[in-house]
Chain A
Amino acid sequence: MTPFDYTRAEGSAAAVKQVSGSAKATFLGGGTCLIDLMKLHVENHDLLVDITPLPLDRIEATAGGGVRIGANVRNSELAHDATIYKNYPALSEALLSGASPQLRNMATVGGNLMQRTRCPYFRNGFSPCNKREPKSGCAAKDGYNRSHAVLGVSEHCIATHPSDMCVALIAFDAVVKTHGPKGERAIPITDFHLVPGDTPDRETVLEHGELITAVELPAAPWAMRSHYLKVRDRASYEFALASAAVALEVVDGVIKTARVALGGVATKPWRAADAEKSLVGQKPGAPAFAATAEMATKGVAPRQFNGFKVALVRRVIVRALETVAAMK
Chain B
Amino acid sequence: MSPDQDIDSAADRREFMEGVAVGGIGVAFAAALPITATADEPVPPARGPGQPVPVKLNVNGTDHDLKLEPRVTLLDALREGLHLTGSKKGCDHGQCGACTVLVDGRRVNSCLTLAVATVGRKVQTVEGLADGDVLHPLQLAFIKHDAFQCGYCTPGQLCSAAGLLKEGRAKSDDEIREEMSGNICRCGAYPNILVAVREVRQGALKEKP
Q: Quick check: B49 and A4 within 8 Å, CB to CB?
A: yes
Q: Quick check: A103 and B14 within 8 Å, CB to CB?
A: no
Q: Mark A82-97, 1 if CB is under 8 A from B, else 0.
A: 0000000000000000
Q: Mark A35-74, 1 if CB is under 8 A from B, else 0.
A: 1101111000011101010000000000000000000000
Chain A residues contacting B108 (CB-CB under 8 Å) are: 102, 105-106
Given that A3-B48, A6-B53, A36-B94 are known contacts, is A237 also in contact with B181, CB under 8 Å in the complex? yes
Chain A residues contacting B34 (CB-CB under 8 Å) are: 3
Q: Quick check: B21 and A101 within 8 Å, CB to CB?
A: no
* Partner of A6 from B48, B106, B109, B117 at Cβ < 8 Å: B117
Complex: A4 Cα to B70 Cα, angstroms = 7
Chain A residues contacting B109 (CB-CB under 8 Å) are: 32, 102-103, 106
Decide yes or no whether A181 CB sits under 8 A from chain B: no
Of chain B, the residue at the smallest CB distance from A103 is B94
Given that A32-B109, A106-B112, A237-B182 are known contacts, is A3 also in contact with B69, CB under 8 Å in the complex? yes
Complex: A31 Cα to B14 Cα, angstroms = 21
Chain B residues contacting A28 (CB-CB under 8 Å) are: 114, 117
A35 to chain B, nearest CB (A): 5
Q: Quick check: B22 and A126 within 8 Å, CB to CB?
A: yes
Give the A-B contact count at a CB cut-off of 8 A.
107
Of chain B, the residue at the smallest CB distance from A47 is B49
Q: Quick check: B49 and A5 within 8 Å, CB to CB?
A: yes
Chain B residues contacting A304 (CB-CB under 8 Å) are: none
* Partner of A236 from B48, B117, B160, B181 at Cβ < 8 Å: B181
Of chain A, the residue at the smallest CB distance from B70 is A6
Complex: A6 Cα to B73 Cα, angstroms = 12
Complex: A325 Cα to B167 Cα, angstroms = 32
Q: Quick check: B94 and A50 within 8 Å, CB to CB?
A: no
Q: Quick check: B50 and A39 within 8 Å, CB to CB?
A: no
Of chain A, the residue at the smallest CB distance from B163 is A101
Of chain A, the residue at the smallest CB distance from B55 is A6
Of chain A, the residue at the smallest CB distance from B13 is A3
Sorting the interface of chain B by its residue count into under 10, 10 to 19, 20 to 34 or 35 or more gives: 35 or more
Q: Quick check: A36 and B49 within 8 Å, CB to CB?
A: no
Given that A4-B70, A36-B112, A40-B21 are known contacts, is A105 also in contact with B49, CB under 8 Å in the complex? no
Given that A52-B117, A101-B163, A102-B182 are known contacts, is A5 also in contact with B50, CB under 8 Å in the complex? yes
Decide yes or no whether B41 CB sits under 8 A from chain A: no
Q: Quick check: A3 and B113 within 8 Å, CB to CB?
A: no
Of chain B, the residue at the smallest CB distance from A38 is B71
Chain B residues contacting A1 (CB-CB under 8 Å) are: 17, 71
Complex: A104 Cα to B72 Cα, angstroms = 22
Complex: A215 Cα to B47 Cα, angstroms = 40
Chain B residues contacting A2 (CB-CB under 8 Å) are: 14, 17, 50, 71
Decide yes or no whether A100 CB sits under 8 A from chain B: yes
Interface set, chain B 150-195, CB cutoff 8 A to A: 160, 163-164, 167, 169, 177-179, 181-183
Complex: A130 Cα to B208 Cα, angstroms = 57
Decide yes or no whether A80 CB sits under 8 A from chain B: yes
Decide yes or no whether B10 CB sits under 8 A from chain A: yes
Chain B residues contacting A236 (CB-CB under 8 Å) are: 177-178, 181
Residues of A within 8 A of B (CB): 1-6, 28, 31-32, 35-36, 38-41, 46-48, 50, 52, 76, 80, 99-103, 105-106, 125-126, 235-237
Lowest 9 CB-CB distances: which A-B pairs, in order?
Answer: A3-B50, A100-B182, A6-B70, A236-B181, A46-B49, A1-B71, A237-B181, A105-B106, A35-B112
